[in-house]
Amino acid sequence: MSDYILKFWPRNNVTENQTELILKQLKDDNIISDEIEFWGKPAFKSGAKLGEMVGINNSNYVAELIVQIEVNGYGVEQGKEDFEYVDRNNVVSIKNGDGEMEKWSKFEEYLTKLTKNEYKGGWELL
């Protein structure tokens, strides 16, 4: 298990449930593949294009990544003294990774274009 979760959440609160839209398009674009259970919740294995979205070229590394899409979740932002948790809907989390994922702006742009809501990515340290 990793000490990091890379999360993507809408910058502003969105009341509309867009998880089915996100799920369908991630599958269609081969960013996620087979559905599995991870940490007791539904999740997806990485697809061939996930690495491209988070700036990773190592296919063995990408194959270990797990994606979860949550109706109700949260983002994690750096506050003045500590991290602040921001409740949001339509959150996408990439688990089983580590600090190697550093260039995720392409995935932010992808989710923003798909949902028409600006997305932000960031780390949650466990």
Considering the chain, what percentage of its residues have pLDDT values greater than 70? 94
- What average pLDDT does range 90-112 have in this prediction? 92
Say how many Å lie between the first and final Cα of the chain, rounded: 10
Residue 81: CB partners within 8 Å, gap ≥ 6? none
The candidate with the shortest Cα–Cα distance to 5, out of 89, 114, 98, is 98
Domain spans of the chain, in order of start: 18-125
Determine the Cα–Cα distance for residues 56 and 72; give it in Å rounded to an integer.
27
pLDDT at 1 over 60: no
pLDDT band at 91 (very low <50, low <70, confident <90, very high): very high
The 3-state DSSP class for residue 55 equals coil
- What average pLDDT does range 97-113 have in this prediction? 90
State pLDDT tens for residues 30-76: 999 999 999 899 999 999 999 999 999 999 999 999 999 999 998 88
The pair phi, psi for residue 53, each rounded to 5°, is: -70, -25
The pair phi, psi for residue 14, each rounded to 5°, is: -120, 125
pLDDT at 124 over 90: no
Average pLDDT, the chain: 91
The verdict on pTM exceeding 0.85 is yes
